[in-house]
Amino acid sequence: MSCKDTGSRSIKDTLELIQALQIAAEEREEIVLACDKPFLGCRKRPEGCNTRPIEIFTDDGKPWCMEFHEEGEKKGESKIFRVERVENDACIFRVLIPKGNGKYKSTEDFFTVNLGCICGIKCLPDTFLECLL
């Protein structure tokens, strides 16, 4: 079965919903970007969630894996991602590093996928990621 046979439109709808929910969560945090903000770094909001992590599956049922880097060096691979932006027939994802207990570390590694190449997604429990600015 090819990815085109799986109804990629419903996958796009789901990814757009996830993106909208994440944007709404970020807007609720009311992060101040001016010089006079009353804290350093990111605002921490452990009582709320700002990310719905997902896994992506190919037409053979295997999870998509992408490498992540720290200080320019490859440190490993992950199969957990955050939807950053859905545009037309493509989606930009951020690679997340699993830390255990449903927690993840955000990376600066991104990739773009044609939605026709995604045959399935699995949503993981919502979580809070620090420093997504």
Please report, for the chain, the start and end positions of each structural domain, with discontinuous segments joined by +.
Answer: 3-123
Residue 5's pLDDT is 46
Residue 52's pLDDT is 93
In b/e form, how buried is each residue of 96-115, taking b as 16+ CB within 10 angstroms? bbeeeeeebebbebeeebeb
Q: Which two tokens stand for residue 66?
A: 């992408």
Q: pTM for the full model?
A: 0.79
Residue 9 predicted with pLDDT over 80: no
Which residue did the predictor score with more confidence, 80 or 133?
Answer: 80
Average pLDDT over residues 14-24: 89
Average pLDDT over residues 84-88: 95
Average pLDDT over residues 62-81: 93
Residue 107's pLDDT is 94
Residue range 97-112, pLDDT digits in tens:
999 888 999 999 999 9
Burial label for 130, CB within 10 Å (0-12, 13-18, 19+), is middle
Quickly state the pLDDT bin for 11 (edges 50, 70, 90): very high
pLDDT, mean over the chain: 82
Beta-ladder partners of 73: 70
Residue 6's pLDDT is 46
Which residue did the predictor score with more confidence, 1 or 47?
Answer: 47
